[in-house]
Amino acid sequence: MKKASVGSEMKKQRESQCTQKTISLLSPLGTIQVSGCENGVHTIQILMDVAPAERSSAAPLSCVVTDSPAETSPEMQRCVEWLQAYFTEPQTAGSLPLPAFHHPALQGDAFTSRVLQVLLRDVKFGETVSYKRLAEMAGNPRAVRAVGGAMRRNPVPLLIPCHRVISSSGQSGPYMSGRGDHLKQWLLTHERQRGEG
C-alpha cells in the first residue's frame, strides 16, 4: 500500500514539473484553449463564449491562433495544425498526425484510458458509436455508464472525439455535461456535411 502511494506521489511530482503553456484559437465553436508542455497536450477547453458559426458554402470556416506563447512545443504546434485542418479542411484531418497526449486520464490501462483510446482508434470522422457499443469495444459490455463517465473526463475533446458517442436510440446525448449539446450537434453536422463533400 505504501509503495503505491509513493509511486502515485512521484507521478504527481513529475506532472507538476511540466511547464504548461496555453494557446488560444478562435474557431467556429468560439475560443478553444489548448494547454500542454514539451511532452504533449494536457487539455483542450471549448470556452463556449459565442454561438457556433452558421455554416455556409460561400463562407469557409476558419480556425486562427489568437494568443500564443513565443515558443511552443512541436506537440502543441501539431495540435494547432490538426484543429485548423479539422475546421477548415476536415477531410484532411484524419491523415494528419495527432500530438502526443500528456494527461493522467490517458495514461495506463484504467478503463477511462482504454475507452478513450478505443474511441480514438476505431471511430472515424463522420461515424458515430453508441455508449453501449463503445463499452463492448472496450471489453466490458456492462459498463455503459462508465463509458459516459469516461466521455465526461475526456481531457482532449475534438482530438479524442467524444462528440461521436451517442445513445442507442440515436439521440445525440449530452456533451460537456449537457452545457454543450448544441456544440455536439454542430460537430456531428460538420462531419456529416464535410464527409459528403
pLDDT the model gives residue 157: 96
Q: pTM for this one?
A: 0.86
Looking at residue 44, its pLDDT comes to 97
User: Is 162 labeled as catalytic in the residue annotation?
Assistant: yes
Residue with more model confidence, 16 or 148: 148
Over residues 137-159, mean pLDDT: 95
Q: What is the pLDDT of residues 6-20, one digit of tens each?
A: 445 544 545 557 899
Is 104-193 in the same CATH topology as 21-94?
Answer: no
Per-residue confidence (pLDDT) for residue 55, from 0 to 100: 62
Residue 187 has pLDDT above 60, yes or no: yes
Q: What is the pLDDT of residue 10?
A: 45
What is the structure's pLDDT at 136? 97
Active site residue: 18, 37, 79, 162, which one? 162
Q: Domain ranges in the chain?
A: 21-94, 104-193
Q: According to the model, what pLDDT value does residue 194 have?
A: 72
- The tens digit of pLDDT for each residue in 51-99 reads 787 765 555 688 999 998 888 999 999 999 999 999 998 888 889 999 9
Mean pLDDT of 173-195: 88
pLDDT confidence of residue 43: 97
Dihedral of alpha carbons 158, 164, 165, 167, sign: positive
What's the fold here for domain 104-193?
A: Arc Repressor Mutant, subunit A (1.10.10)
- pLDDT of residue 144 exceeding 80, the answer is yes
For 40-62, the pLDDT digits (tens) are 999 999 998 887 877 655 556 88
Q: Choose the CATH number for 21-94 among 2.130.10.10, 3.40.50.300, 3.40.190.170, 3.30.160.70.
A: 3.30.160.70
Residue 195 banded pLDDT, cuts 50, 70, 90:
low
